[in-house]
Structures are given as structure tokens and as C-alpha cells.
């Protein structure tokens, strides 16, 4: 079976790996001219970690990872306002926890394909026509081709979803925040293995030092206006406007921002396709990863979730012997309720990133300090972060 996968981020190559292992013939199409390697660090644990294990990828992933020791909140003058050692989390996940730049993880997954999966870089699907025998696919810059199935793994602004279901606004739930990330070399201070955060009302800057003298910055801020500035200079101006009055190292960080040409900025949104069985698929086309169920950065788990979903979709296709109707239904039935719970948990965590008021900020910092007490940490982790999903063996 020839399966076209749109998007070579995290979900796409993971799905391609499992499909190729099971004797299907996947092809990836990626709109970027080469693999995208964003600089921000993501946390990676639970069943997503287990999928990487089952793919035999842990030895290649671990050297890119960081074991964060502490999450520390500092005030305007850099004094510690709250801190959270990460041992409770390590314990809870039995050491299966890693912070890793998203781009490095994506590169490890893509490398694991070992050149065996055809990848069409710098192109995208512009036309889909389904028939009894398959899907005719038109590309922006290549001749049309015929596939048996198409999977949209092209992120929250999915082109496949747009073609099959129509405008994104029907499915996007804007959570009222924006996020921006960039990376520089040679920034000091570094505070090795400490995730530093400086929070004001409605906004937060985080910094994390990485190998090779690199430092990553993450801005989160509340914004009623959902529109995004189009040009890099307008995006920088928006961040200056939002963060210009903050203390700590903010002036120095904004100067570093001025020098960067690679800035990631987006709305913090979730994608809800609706809970109805079959809502992720239309005939021979289905959606996966952020395209189907983006949980947003607030869940801190989009990457792991898309890897789990890819494993389940490939497994169900294998189990159903290629009967895609059955496989697509089973995939959503197994994974849908789990990811809905994750989306709910993510909206509860919103206040953590950008509290609404001084009082909420004070309460957030106290809550972080309370997490030093083991039973409270366990309770909070179980409620919002633990993963309750059984991974089937396919
Ligand atoms: C700042 C930030 C921090 C995050 N932190 C975390 C975290 O702590 N933990 C975590 O697990 N997750 C985190 N995430 C989320 C995580 O990166 C995504 O949820 C995850 O990568 C989902 O994988 P995906 O493959 O569905 O989408 P993506 O990784 O976004 O990949 C989609 C791919 O599709 C390509 N594409 C887009 N449109 C088209 C098109 N029309 N045709 C072809 N290709 C196309 C894109 O170029 C991209 O390569 C974070 C995200 C952000 C923005």
C-alpha cells in the first residue's frame, strides 16, 4: 500500500518508520526545503519515551538530551522567588524523562528512516481527489501521483486538513496566548541545567542553556488579538512591546533578539476536530499529530503524543491488513479519549505560564514551592501530567 504522509516534523517520520517496518510504502512530502530543526527544548517522557525505545532510538536520542535539575523563578532583580527540583518527576517517570531540543529529536527520528523512505522536500499537496481505487494527489511543484491513503501530519496549520475539511478557524481553539522562541550563541549567564523563568502578570520569559554555548529563550504572553505579525521586524516589535518593561535580564535578552534572524512565533492553540467517531478521517485521508489534535505547548507533550498516535495508527493499519476504514476508526477510538483529557489538562496549566494577576502569580510561585513536598508533587503530577494509556503490542 502506498501511503503519502504530508509533513516531516515528528508525527510524519515516526509514522513512516512504523509503516515501512510493517511492509507499507510510505512517501513523505515536506513543504520546507530541508528538515526543520527548531531550537526550543521540549520535555519527553512516558509512553512517547517508550515508543522511542521500541524504535531502538534511545542511544541516538540520549546524547542530545539534558537532565534539568531545577526549574527556578526569579524576580526583577534575579532573586529566587520559587524553585522546583525535578527529582519528583524523575522518580515518577522512573528516569524515563529527557529534555531535548525538538529539532534534535526530529532529526534523530528522520535519521532512523535510514534513507529508505522517499521524501519530497520543498513541496506540498495542492489537490486531493478520492476514488474507489485511491487518491489522486496534485503537488505544487511536481507531477501528480496516485496513492492508496494520505495522512496529514503537517502540524496545527495543516494543509491536508484545509483541503479536506476547509478553513482552520472551524477547528482552532485559541487559548489567548502567543509563544515565541529563539536561540543564540555566547549568551551569559548560563545557570547550567536550570530552567530559568521570569514571570510578570500575563507574560513570562524562560531561558535554558544548551551545549556548544547555545542558549534558548521562550516568551509566552497573553494577547486577546489572535492575529500574528507577518514580518520578522514586526514580530520583534511585538515582543519588545510586550516585554520591554520587564526586569531581570530582559533588556539583554531583547538585544539578543534583535540580532536573531530565526524566530519562531505562533498562537497557542488547540485543534479540536470534534469527538464524533471518525471525525479525524474522511475516506482514505486521515489526520495525525498536531494536525488532528494539537494540545498546545501548555500540555508540554505534543511531541510525545504525536509519536504515540503514529505508533497506534501504523499498528491498526497492520492489524486490519490495510483495511483503512477499520484501522482509522480503531486509531481514533484508542487515542481520541486520551488526547481529549490531555487537552483539558493543558488549559488548566495556562495560568502557570502567564498568570492573570499579581495574586495569581504569587499563588503560582507558592504552589511551585509546595511541590517540594513529595506527596503534593505526586498528586499534581498524577492529575495533570501522568499518562494513562496502554500501548498495544502490534
Ligand atoms: C515553543 C514550543 C514549545 C513546545 N514544547 C513542547 C514540549 O515541551 N513538549 C512537547 O512534547 N511538545 C512541545 N511542543 C509541541 C511539539 O513541537 C509539537 O506538538 C509536535 O512536534 C507535533 O508534531 P507534528 O509532527 O504533528 O507537527 P510538527 O512538528 O509541527 O511538524 C509538521 C511538519 O509539517 C510541515 N508542513 C506544514 N505545512 C505543510 C504542508 N502544507 N505540506 C507539507 N508539509 C507541511 C512543517 O514544515 C513541519 O515540518 C512545543 C511547541 C512549541 C511551539
Q: What is the pLDDT of residue 144?
A: 98
What's the CA gap between 280 and 161, in Å, rounded?
9
Structural domain contains residue 252: no
| Residues 355-391: b if buried by 16+ CB within 10 A, e if exposed | beeeeebeebbeebeebeeeeebbebbeebbebebee
Closest CA to 8 of 173, 154, 212: 154
Binned at pLDDT 50, 70 and 90, residue 39 comes out as low
Q: Considering its fold, how many domains does the chain have in total?
A: 1
Question: How far away, in angstroms, is 312 Cα from ligand 1 center?
Answer: 19
CATH classification at residue 28: 3.50.50.60
Binned at pLDDT 50, 70 and 90, residue 384 comes out as low
- Is pLDDT at 273 greater than 90 in this prediction? yes
Task: Provide mean pLDDT across the span 65-83.
Answer: 93
**Domain of residue 334, residue span:** 2-68+87-171+270-350
Q: Which atom of ligand 1 is nearest to the CA of 218?
A: 1
**pLDDT tens digits for range 174-218:** 999 999 999 999 999 999 999 999 999 999 999 999 999 999 999
Structural domain contains residue 77: no
Of 4, 5, 6, 7, the one to substitute when testing ligand 1's pocket (max ligand atoms within 8 A of C-beta) is 7
Structural domain contains residue 165: yes
Question: How far away, in angstroms, is 303 Cα from ligand 1 center?
Answer: 7
Structural domain contains residue 201: no
- Is pLDDT at 313 greater than 70 in this prediction? yes
* DSSP string for residues in 334-374: HHHHHHHHHHHHHHHTHHHHS-SSHHHHHHHHHHHHHTTSH
Which residues, including other chains, have CB under 8 Å from residue 87's CB and lie 6 or more apart? none
Q: What percent of the chain shows pLDDT beyond 70?
A: 97
> Does ligand 1 come within 6 angstroms of the Cβ of 7?
yes
> Does ligand 1 come within 6 angstroms of the Cβ of 183?
no
**36 neighbors 13 (Cβ within 8 angstroms):** no
What are the grid coordinates assigned to 307, written together? 509519536
CA distances from residue 171 to 34, 206, 269 in whole angstroms, order as listed: 28, 29, 10
Structural domain contains residue 11: yes
Q: What is the pLDDT of residue 277?
A: 85
Q: Taking the chain, what is the end-to-end CA distance rounded to the nearest angstrom?
A: 18
**pLDDT tens digits for range 93-113:** 777 888 898 889 999 999 999
Binned at pLDDT 50, 70 and 90, residue 130 comes out as very high
The dihedrals phi and psi of 292, each to the nearest 5 degrees, come to: -95, -35
Q: What is the pLDDT of residue 385?
A: 60
Q: What is the pLDDT of residue 254?
A: 98
Binned at pLDDT 50, 70 and 90, residue 287 comes out as very high
> Does ligand 1 come within 6 angstroms of the Cβ of 8?
yes
The overall pTM is greater than 0.85: yes
Q: Measure CA 44 to chain center.
A: 10
Q: Measure CA 176 to chain center.
A: 18
Structural domain contains residue 236: no
Binned at pLDDT 50, 70 and 90, residue 280 comes out as very high
> Does ligand 1 come within 6 angstroms of the Cβ of 329?
no
What are the grid coordinates assigned to 49, written together? 519515551
- Is pLDDT at 383 greater than 70 in this prediction? no
Structural domain contains residue 73: no
> Does ligand 1 come within 6 angstroms of the Cβ of 206?
no
Structural domain contains residue 242: no
Q: What is the pLDDT of residue 386?
A: 64
> What sign for the dihedral angle of Cα 127, 141, 15, 336?
negative
Q: What percent of the chain shows pLDDT beyond 90?
A: 75
Q: What is the mean pLDDT of the chain?
A: 92
What's the CA gap between 101 and 307, in Å, rounded?
16
Amino acid at each position: 500500500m502506498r501511503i503519502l504522509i504530508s509533513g516531516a516534523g515528528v508525527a510524519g517520520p515516526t509514522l513512516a518508520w512504523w509503516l515501512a517496518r510493517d511492509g507499507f510504502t510510505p512517501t513523505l512530502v515536506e513543504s520546507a526545503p530541508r528538515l526543520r530543526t527548531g531550537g526550543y527544548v521540549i520535555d519527553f517522557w512516558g509512553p512517547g519515551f517508550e515508543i522511542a525505545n521500541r524504535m531502538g532510538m534511545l542511544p541516538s536520542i540520549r546524547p542530545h538530551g539534558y537532565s534539568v535539575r531545577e526549574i527556578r523563578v526569579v524576580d526583577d532583580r534575579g532573586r529566587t522567588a520559587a524553585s522546583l527540583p525535578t527529582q519528583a518527576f524523575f522518580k515518577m517517570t522512573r528516569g524515563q524523562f529527557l529534555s531535548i531540543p525538538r529539532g534534535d529529536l526530529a532529526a534523530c527520528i528522520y535519521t532512523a528512516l535510514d534513507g529508505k523512505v522517499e521524501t519530497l522536500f520543498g513541496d506540498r499537496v495542492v489537490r486531493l481527489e478520492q476514488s474507489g481505487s485511491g487518491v489522486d494527489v496534485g503537488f505544487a511543484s511536481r507531477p501528480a501521483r496516485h496513492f492508496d491513503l494520505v495522512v496529514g501530519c503537517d502540524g496545527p496549520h495543516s494543509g491536508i486538513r484545509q483541503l479536506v475539511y476547509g478553513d482552520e478557524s472551524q477547528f482552532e481553539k485559541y487559548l489567548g496566548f502567543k509563544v515565541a522562541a529563539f536561540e543564540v550563541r555566547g549568551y551569559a549567564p548560563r545557570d547550567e541545567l536550570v530552567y530559568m523563568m521570569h514571570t510578570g502578570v500575563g507574560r513570562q520569559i524562560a531561558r535554558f542553556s544548551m551545549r556548544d554555548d547555545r542558549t534558548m529563550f521562550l516568551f509566552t504572553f497573553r494577547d486577546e488579538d489572535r492575529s500574528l505579525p507577518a514580518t520578522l521586524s514586526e514580530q520583534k516589535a511585538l515582543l519588545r512591546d510586550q516585554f520591554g518593561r520587564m526586569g531581570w535580564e530582559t533588556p539583554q535578552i531583547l538585544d539578543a533578539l534583535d540580532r536573531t534572524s530565526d524566530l519562531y512565533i505562533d498562537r497557542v492553540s488547540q485543534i479540536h476536530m470534534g469527538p464524533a467517531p471518525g471525525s479525524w478521517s474522511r475516506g482514505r485521508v486521515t489526520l495525525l499529530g498536531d494536525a488532528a489534535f494539537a494540545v498546545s505547548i501548555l500540555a508540554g507533550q505534543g511531541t510525545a503524543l504525536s509519536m504515540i498516535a503514529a505508533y497506534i495508527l501504523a499498528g491498526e493499519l497492520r492489524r486490519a491488513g490495510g483495511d483503512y476504514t477499520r484501522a482509522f476508526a480503531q486509531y481514533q477510538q484508542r487515542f481520541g479519549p486520551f488526547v481529549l483529557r490531555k487537552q483539558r489538562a493543558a488549559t488548566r496549566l495556562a495560568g502557570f505560564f502567564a498568570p492573570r494577576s499579581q495574586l495569581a502569580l504569587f499563588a503560582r510561585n507558592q504552589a511551585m514551592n509546595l511541590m517540594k513536598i513529595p506527596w503534593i508533587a505526586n498528586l499534581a503530577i498524577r492529575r495533570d501530567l501522568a499518562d494513562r494509556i496502554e500501548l498495544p503490542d502490534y
